[in-house]
Structure 1
Amino acid sequence: MQPRRLHMKNFGPFIDEIVDFGAFADQGLFLVSGKTGAGKTTIFDGMTFALFGQTSGKLRSGKEMRSLFAQPAEETEVTFSFSHGGLLYEVMRRPEQEVAKKRGTGTTKRAGKTTLTVFDTLGNEKKQYTKNVDDELYQMLHLNADQFFKIIMLPQGEFRNFLIASSTDKEQVLRRLFDTEIYQNLQTWLKEQATLQNKSIEAKRL
């Protein structure tokens, strides 16, 4: 997965902010830097919220990420674009939130919403998912939120969690990432065959 574009509306300290990762595509490696409180962590919160509905440190829910500076009638929304497997994906997620009514006074609760749109290399829309988006993302990335946080993106101050993660957890994630389950299945099959052959040999000896 390669990040392309992150658009945060009324999310954390950002009212309407776009981070164009595509501008760094030729660099290979880049650094997100800034003073304390500048919003560096919120950039990663936006990415993980769009993908999993959770912030990177799990300290705040999506509802709690609504900007204090948001206009009452405007919604909080994050759109994250990334390339994967030769296609471009765009996931948009809105948390459950209280916004001003379009008519009259007071506020109304808007339910959360998530969409996933798939584009080809020319930018033509191929398909859009409005239901079971989280399942579609899991099938694509082969990672759930906990695995993503431990292996792919380590939240600030959480590096120790990666170091102490069990070998089994790391093995399962890496197996999905590199699609080596076929070799695991082959190894299991060979062990079973060896056991059967050993039993057959022992039976003949008797």
Structure 2
Amino acid sequence: MRILAVRGCNLTSLDGPFAVEFDQAPLRRAGLFAITGPTGAGKSTILDALCLALFDRLPRLPEGQGVLLGVEGDPNAIRSTDVRAVLRRGAGAGWAEVDFVGVDGTAYRARWEVRRARQKARGALQPQTLTLGRLDGSERFGDGKKTALEEIERRLGLTFEQFRRAVLLAQGDFATFLKAPPKDRSALLELLTGTEIYSRLSIAAHERAVRERQALDALEAQGGGIGVLGDVERAALAAETATAGAAVRESEQALDAAKAAVAWHERDARLAADEAAAAAAAEAAGRAWHEAAPRR
């Protein structure tokens, strides 16, 4: 989350519009700056505008119902805890506006407005409105103050209390942040600096290590079920292997002898066939010789 600009108009001691542009020179290059001025100059009003636009709340207002400011029944009478009391006396309307970059890296504009009836200085105060949209104007979020507040908090990544304690630190509240439990301070600083990604990576790495350790333990447990043979067992298996090897060799020799016998019988059969063929040819030649005798 990063604040780009704070603007406002007709808020308490600040008459007319004002703007503090953090993303423009000279503040854009300022690593540290101070808001200074005499009492009543409007220093706290700038911070009020910041909280109004983002949360519709003022950190310096008391909690609870407060007291009635004005006469009972007067339409202009409001309670001391009403944020609309920030409207400058004599003004018919006022507003606060904040440009910021959300935790998703998108630039947004939040705007809080309050006005009197017909925008007259003596008109009755109307309910305040709150809107949120993309800074480029391409999209608007929420259809009312309640949903707009929810969308702003989700995109800021901070609740009002977290924002007040860690970002605003208004007038004496710095001790509140310092006294917060270490776990709470760590969570706030991660949100402010954008380093929560490293916590997520650390958690993911730890979970992966746990899974891998469990897998290794399972493999080791399986390996533990395989027994180791003793000397006697190994000797018996070696003897069986030797016996089986000798039997295989004998079988191979018998197979070779059988193959040789088959080859001999096949050759003998061929020779017998050749002998019979030769005898038949000789007999035929003899008959032909005798039959040809009268002609000789």
Alignment of 1:11-160 (within 5 A): 11-21=11-21, 22-23=24-25, 24-59=27-62, 60-67=81-88, 69-71=89-91, 74-83=92-101, 87-94=106-113, 99-100=116-117, 107-120=123-136, 125-131=137-143, 132-160=147-175
More strand by share: 1
- Note closer, same or farther for the CA distance 1:178–1:70 as it changes in structure 2 (3 Å cut): farther
Unaligned runs of 5+ in 2: 63-80, 225-296
More helix by share: 2
Residue 180 of structure 2 corresponds to residue 165 of structure 1 = yes
Q: CA deviation at 1:36?
A: 1.8
- Size of the aligned set, in residue pairs, is 194
Unaligned runs of 5+ in 1: none
Q: Take 1:109 and 1:61, find their aligned partners in 2: how far apart are those partners?
A: 11
Q: Is the 8 A contact 1:44 1:56 kept in 2?
A: no
Q: Take 1:58 and 1:202, find their aligned partners in 2: how far apart are those partners?
A: 64
Q: Is the 8 A contact 2:130 2:148 kept in 1?
A: yes
Q: CA deviation at 1:152?
A: 1.8
Q: Take 2:142 and 2:101, find their aligned partners in 1: how far apart are those partners?
A: 19
Task: Identify the structure with bigger relative contact order (alpha carbons < 8 Å, sequence gap 6+).
Answer: 1
Aligned to 1:4: 5
Q: CA deviation at 1:118?
A: 1.0
TM-score with structure 2 setting the length: 0.55
Report the identity percentage. 21
Q: Is the 8 A contact 1:117 1:128 kept in 2?
A: yes
Q: Which has the larger radius of gyration?
A: 2
Residue 203 of structure 2 corresponds to residue 185 of structure 1 = yes
Q: CA deviation at 1:33?
A: 0.6
Q: Take 1:164 and 1:194, find their aligned partners in 2: how far apart are those partners?
A: 40
Q: Which runs of 4+ in 1 moved over 3 A?
A: 56-61, 82-88, 100-103, 106-109, 174-177, 190-205
